[in-house]
Structure 1
């Protein structure tokens, strides 16, 4: 890709450049996580003797910081170190999926398929389509991080656009729009509604929270996020990247030349292989007694299929299915096109993919240890509860309080990655408080979801954040934490403003948030 002389930079671009420079001056991500872990140990030692009045909603007792430098804590940390690493959720997801993707990329299947698709896809619609696919990927839990985001870079590069812009657009959809649902509910809906109902019962045990209580709002939000992602990617992010050279390994880049006869033949056979796989898969999924379905007695959403709940083997097999659905057509393409001569070529593709993940594995080790230590210390819980109590003590007007919940959530999100863990802490304070003020749990939960999603994309403590940095470095060798934060900061700021206004619009116009949802709560007569 040719470097284009950049136009004079506006203040926004200069500010983002400053964020990038400062961020990239931070230590290597692996060392950064190590330093954060040491800092967590030190702070836990200092605060372990302090008595806090705030109650931990998980235990009902005053919250206490655990001293991680105590002998029992240190030995427990050492004993758990290996298990903490190997059970780190993103690690297995990334490595297994990349085995199949590695073969498909090594044989040339992904490159050929994308070049063929780009011949029929309008260039101007690439961005909203990519953001929309990222939002839809929530149905497959975390698969979007390892599938949609790297393919976003490949699609943009193959279309002659900057690959980092493709990563930004896909990341905005997958993670920035994490609480959005493109028609199909995600596993987050019943998880959050269950915590909301538990918090509401602290005030009124008769309250019932529907798992689809935010469904209309989150579905409408999908189109808002697609519009925001489209505008920012094309008008802010990509123009800023025009002066950033793509200096990654040329052998790793998708070719832009037309398909050869061998490639066309290989693509036809590989697509046929995918169709056969899909047909066999549907034949085993659709029957009523399919073993892919959730066990009998599993709680379901209203109208939800027993294939789409977390307990269903289908939902637990998403990553292995990605592995197979890329491995088989990748091998077929390679054999037919001639890029695969024998089984050793297939194994080489897997090994090549794993060798590219070496840096990520190192970062994942230190990231896993830090997250474990931070969770054990109770520091995140302390910040969340004290923040919620502080917001309650301010006694602000309702609209301002809802905005405060959004800002509090987005701030705490920089330290606690789990959406359910944050809501278990914040919701236990905010839901009962706002119920006393006449605000329904449904509206409070919707405010939380806006804040939770908006800042996902700028926190290095997101478990998948190091992986996205690795994807960036494949195309721009100098990319680091600052590069990715500067890329995603415009999305975070814009989503916080626009999505908050969108929620306030729902409230002002009395547009239903979801099934069985309301804006107001009437306390029972006492």
Structure 2
């Protein structure tokens, strides 16, 4: 596979390429991400201030509490900003996930463990299977919560590189599968429990609340959807994304920033194509054994009847210290085996090497750490001002005023959720707002709350991989720029669109099959309320 230098992109051969190239060109005319979010911050500041002066309020249906939109350029707003500037940055949610995992993955990668495992596991695997493997891992990645967005893409890139395929296809495909399929899984996750809790909270006042909603109320629907989306993700990576990257001449090697980094990258690329040495095999063996022991210790610690990682009811769902410890578990499962492997093969000779390897990982993400400052300010202002709630309620009211019924009403609901997902990235926050409006509304026309929740999941995921408001898009852009320094948000949006539209359509088709065949979405939960 050739690696064409930037700027030598071949002429698009088909209409699809021309359309995506057009979207990419338009998208890349957007300002640099830092400036873009600074502009968005100022726009929200001005709009929120105008709405505040106009006395705009919002009331979530089903609640007596009235929220007044607050403006930044007011006495209250300026005080809020000056007091919370540092907290807005350090409290930026992705930092809590990205930084610890970044340090841990840095130890595992820079010690050579990740490359060695990939060569061992995928060295004899059929090349055609890799896109589908990435699709499976990506869609199931929601079991790791937000950590999936940080862990899966770079590992998928390494897997593709080791097999002689385009690493950027693995990088982008892994992110797309993890993001566009985030709300579904073959396993019951914390998100299922969270959504169920929100749905249950708004059904108490309904004359006919339907069947109780619990974490497995959408399980049959999730299981079927995840299989379809896994296969679809693999197909798109294999037949659409990677061929387009090759036609565009996107480099397959990281751009060398300086001589030292260039030497490290050449060494890495050579290592990926070489056979494992005896000492590397021994290092993997010890790393895997220690990893298994660590996993066993964690399992034993949490399954004990009086485990402190259980919740007050003695379980794990919907919330528990265990589910809140996902970042720690991922951190430990990368760091400990990485240290063991490095010690065995000699890439780690002493304690001083550990912070050095972590520092190398942080250096790769410096631009994101700078960008996170303005991202944190923007998201904090968006949430504090109340504009997000106002947008959700206004959209819901508009849809309700149209008077749609039946499955077209569900399609309108999904479309609205997809549009709101461009502005409100948190699925739990958006469902909290939308459930209060739509669960009672759809109950009045005969739909089970669990079915409305299932429909929401479709709109909740697909579009989050094309919105600049998704902070993990910026993390991905930082990774992509190692291969394409000139890549911008338009580049990412154009390459994510081939996933968004098919995922959305396929997911709607699966939902329509359940709807028209009147199939249960989960144990005891159907489509229509019993009369």
TM > 0.5 between the two?
Answer: yes
Distance 2:335 2:432 in 1: 40
One of 210, 213, 217 as aligned partner of 2:217: 213
Gap runs ≥5 in structure 1: 299-305
Q: Does 1:295 align with 2:311?
A: yes
Alpha-carbon distance change, 202 to 448 in structure 1, aligned in 2, over 3 angstroms: same
How much has 1:238 moved relative to structure 2?
A: 0.6
One of 282, 286, 293 as aligned partner of 1:269: 286
How much has 1:374 moved relative to structure 2?
A: 0.8
Alpha-carbon distance change, 53 to 381 in structure 1, aligned in 2, over 3 angstroms: closer
Aligned equivalent of 2:367: 359
Aligned equivalent of 1:175: 179
Distance 2:216 2:225 in 1: 14
Contact in 2 for aligned 1:63/1:382 (Cα 8 Å): no
Aligned equivalent of 1:3: 3
Range 27-36 or range 449-458, more displaced: 27-36
How much has 1:62 moved relative to structure 2?
A: 5.3
Alpha-carbon distance change, 202 to 309 in structure 1, aligned in 2, over 3 angstroms: closer
Provide the secondary structure at the position in 2 that maps to 1:343: coil
Q: Does 1:75 align with 2:83?
A: no
Distance 2:100 2:57 in 1: 45
How much has 1:209 moved relative to structure 2?
A: 2.4
Aligned equivalent of 2:48: 44
- CA offsets 1:250-269 (integer angstroms, 9 cap, x no match): 53454322223332232222
Aligned equivalent of 2:19: 15
One of 311, 319, 333 as aligned partner of 2:327: 319
Aligned equivalent of 1:25: 29
Aligned equivalent of 1:137: 141
Aligned equivalent of 2:154: 150
Distance 1:516 1:223 in 2: 22
How much has 1:522 moved relative to structure 2?
A: 4.6
Q: Which TM-score applies when normalising by structure 1?
A: 0.92
One of 498, 506, 512 as aligned partner of 2:520: 512
Aligned equivalent of 2:170: 166
Provide the secondary structure at the position in 1 that maps to 2:202: helix
Q: How does 1:200-239 map to 2 (within 5 A)?
A: 200-204=203-207, 206-207=209-210, 208-239=212-243
Aligned equivalent of 1:441: 449
How much has 1:314 moved relative to structure 2?
A: 2.5
Distance 1:277 1:52 in 2: 54
Distance 2:213 2:330 in 1: 34
Distance 2:320 2:196 in 1: 19
Residue-pair matches, total: 513
Aligned equivalent of 1:303: none
Distance 1:277 1:220 in 2: 33
How much has 1:330 moved relative to structure 2?
A: 1.6
Range 252-261 or range 72-81, more displaced: 252-261
Contact in 2 for aligned 1:169/1:233 (Cα 8 Å): yes
Aligned equivalent of 1:122: 126
- CA offsets 1:75-124 (integer angstroms, 9 cap, x no match): 11220121121122210211111112111111111111111111232222
Aligned equivalent of 1:190: 193
Distance 1:438 1:3 in 2: 57
How much has 1:512 moved relative to structure 2?
A: 0.9
Distance 1:522 1:511 in 2: 14
How much has 1:48 moved relative to structure 2?
A: 2.2
Contact in 2 for aligned 1:210/1:517 (Cα 8 Å): no
Distance 2:296 2:215 in 1: 32
Q: Which TM-score applies when normalising by structure 2?
A: 0.91
Range 325-334 or range 199-208, more displaced: 199-208
- CA offsets 1:260-319 (integer angstroms, 9 cap, x no match): 333223222222322332333334344333333x13425xxxxxxx3x435433222222
Alpha-carbon distance change, 315 to 289 in structure 1, aligned in 2, over 3 angstroms: same
Aligned equivalent of 1:85: 89
How much has 1:229 moved relative to structure 2?
A: 0.3
Q: Does 1:489 align with 2:473?
A: no
Alpha-carbon distance change, 369 to 52 in structure 1, aligned in 2, over 3 angstroms: closer
Contact in 1 for aligned 2:60/2:436 (Cα 8 Å): no
How much has 1:6 moved relative to structure 2?
A: 5.1
Aligned equivalent of 2:259: none
Gap runs ≥5 in structure 2: 257-261
Contact in 2 for aligned 1:140/1:315 (Cα 8 Å): no
Provide the secondary structure at the position in 1 that maps to 2:168: helix
Distance 2:197 2:478 in 1: 36
Q: Does 1:380 align with 2:388?
A: yes
Distance 1:388 1:345 in 2: 55
Contact in 2 for aligned 1:134/1:144 (Cα 8 Å): yes
Give the RMSD, CA atoms, in angstroms: 2.2
Alpha-carbon distance change, 223 to 267 in structure 1, aligned in 2, over 3 angstroms: same
Range 57-66 or range 470-479, more displaced: 57-66
